[in-house]
Homo-oligomer: A and B are copies of this chain.
């Protein structure tokens, strides 16, 4: 490929207002282009990286025994109604077609895969099934961010497995885990696997693959001493309980104290002496969650504990319906029938301040077990750094990370809700146990760029680079130009030949920015000795090689393969 004909040249100017260094480099190098908020085009260089990612993932999925299929991105709303997710995924776009049929622009594909499997599943002999695809998702994210790291349209690899039993799903999971590790290793990034929340995908357990990165939009809690790591939303850590003699409950006027901040100031108490109550909505009705005010609620933990999705916070209407008073919510004097979940730090701390379900009033010296009660006590608060690791007593730290992959144990939630059954080996009806997983290819490309760069630009791993080699010549000598043309012809599709009339300085700079593994330079000086300069982008190591050997060096590059379809 000649650089002069390539769509998407390097930009001379620094793109404006961009914080993410990987995004800036992908823009500057001409890999991607923004078309709208969270909507990106992949230019030829970016597309070739994408196809290389696709090849690596395909190879690992095939090795796992996966079968590739295609499920449409537009799906009937009816199947989302059956799973119960039609109404509460905020990122889900619905629309009507001309015939008045309601359709969904799918943010994920659990429902579609259940429907695809339905027609072909009858007996246990048809299981397990490991299915995957490369397909678009559309997620109407509230905030998109930093280029490819959170987009609305996502070109995604996603997979869905169907098993005869939970035991079989459990046996499959470590294999999937290993395949994910291999994928990220082959992409040249280091990841942590960490337990994570399940969000609207649901199910019982999930693991995220996170790449530590300053500025990453995920928080990872990690122990400095042992192997413990978890996504912040589900991480656990030691808590300090506030013990003490129980004092008498006392109602106090707290005029104008609508916030925790105001209340702490008014009562002259630290936040740790106050309880905070929040009402969350779930498909089984509202749930009042109580944590100590020096913590934040972790909805993912409530969801895991109650085994229902948590949709979000209640609004004024739902508060009124539940018989609660905004600004003074309380587990003390709880309206009958309302479900209550209490954080363990609240249950084990004495004499906290609670709301009174009465505007302008609170209770002092409230005590769990005496003033209110619930069977549902659990860890439902967010863990922060500087807490104690429950596994080894070490200190937890919070680091920023980028999520590059996510695997889920879904169990039988979807198959049961959507009534996809099979006959087990005893002739009884059973629901397949599902696993699922996903890798956003744009986000992964961004992470690879983040991890493989230096102050001069990108430095792609060989397996992902859009070309194996970048070729240029120096000077106006016809012999040099001819030698460069010959090299280009010999290397064919594997080389990006910079045939512009620009100065060597401009070309060196662009070669560094583009980050192609080998840079070949033909110059008068070395051509006289029959040599070509070959420089490795990642190490900077320079060799002078005869042309034939330079060609071999390019062809021998370990992982690099041309993209889909370029081989005939």
Contacts and interface: CB of A to CB of B under 8 A. Distances in A.
Interface of A: 1, 4-9, 30, 33, 35-37, 39-44, 46-48, 50-51, 54-55, 57-59, 62, 65, 67-76, 78-79, 90, 93, 95, 97-99, 101, 103, 105, 112, 115-117, 119-120, 125, 129, 131, 136, 138, 140, 142, 152-153, 155, 563-566, 568
A9 B4 CA distance: 50
A105 to B, nearest CB: 7
Contacts of A36: 72, 74-76, 78, 101, 103
Contact of A69 (B44, B55, B73, B115): B44
Nearest to A77: B36
Contacts of A75: 35-36, 39
A73 B73 contact: yes
A97 B44 contact: no
A71 B59 CA distance: 25
B41 A72 contact: yes
A58 B152 contact: no
Summarize A's interface: helix, strand, loop or mixed: mixed
Contact of A71 (B35, B37, B95): B35
Contacts of A8: 120
A43 B117 CA distance: 10
B101 A37 contact: yes
Contact of A58 (B40, B42, B138, B565): B565
A153 B72 contact: yes
B39 A74 contact: yes
Contacts of A566: 58, 62
A379 to B, nearest CB: 32
Contact of A76 (B35, B70, B72): B35
A270 B147 CA distance: 67
Given A33-B116, A90-B98, 19 more contacts: A5-B65, A5-B129, A7-B116, A7-B129, A35-B75, A36-B76, A37-B101, A39-B72, A39-B75, A41-B115, A41-B116, A44-B69, A46-B70, A51-B68, A54-B565, A74-B138, A74-B152, A93-B95, A95-B95
Contacts of A58: 564-566
B47 A68 contact: yes
Nearest to A2: B65
A139 B54 CA distance: 27
